[in-house]
Amino acid sequence: MLFDSIDWRAMESSFKALSMKEQVISQNLANQDTPDYKQVEFNFKNVLADAQGSVDVEKSKDMDYEFVAQTFTDTSRNILIDGNSVDTDQQQLELYNVYLQHSAMITKMNGDFKRFSTVATANFS
């Protein structure tokens, strides 16, 4: 089934992770003028049970994609006079990167829907 494939489960998890990353970046940008605010970074990695290298497709059908999210305060950044460490340019680029990743996944999903619709409405007589 379309929605039960490993691709769709991976995209669902990716959307959740990208949404969290977008919230962290938005919080950083909102606090760019707050004295002593330290920029928060967001990392996530894909954790597939027992997956090192290649994944057996048959075994992966029952696996869930799980993303481990980590937020941390980046203390290695240059701190401005007011104690703030938000790099506005870098955060805006990160936000645009999240937008591009969202757009790519939506384009893939739309293609899958179009193929599914074509098959569902095909006349096989």
11-66: per-residue pLDDT in tens?
777 888 888 889 999 999 999 999 988 888 887 665 444 444 555 555 555 555 55
Residue 9 CA to residue 97 CA, distance in Å, equals 21
67-125: per-residue pLDDT in tens?
566 676 766 667 777 888 888 999 999 999 999 998 998 898 888 788 878 877 877 76
Q: At what angle do helices 88-120 and 6-30 cross, to 10 degrees?
A: 150
CB atoms within 10 A of CB 28: 26
Domain residue limits, the chain: 2-120
pLDDT at 91: 92
